[in-house]
């Protein structure tokens, strides 16, 4: 068995992630069977966290 640089070229043949049929992003892991972006295949609720969206700060106007 060879290992190292020649073996790394064999990794490019198949796709790890394909297009998810729930969210449409290329994040569905074929081997694990779930989407990394929305959680499809793992949970029926859409995967969402508060740290994913940037919080809008309300500031006073400086004149």
Binding residue ranges for Zn(2+): 20, 23, 35, 38
Annotated binding residues, written as ranges, equal 20, 23, 35, 38
Strands 34-35 and 28-29: antiparallel
- Find, among 7, 3, 39, 8, the residue nearest to 21 by Cα: 39
- The H or E element that residue 18 is part of is strand 17-18
């Amino acid at each position: 068995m060879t290992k190292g640089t020649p073996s790394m070229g064999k990794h490019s043949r198949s796709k790890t992630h394909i297009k998810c049929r729930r969210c449409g992003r290329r994040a569905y892991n074929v081997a694990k069977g779930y989407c990394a972006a929305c959680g499809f295949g793992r949970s029926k609720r859409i995967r969402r966290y508060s740290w994913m969206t940037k919080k809008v700060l309300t500031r006073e106007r400086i004149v």
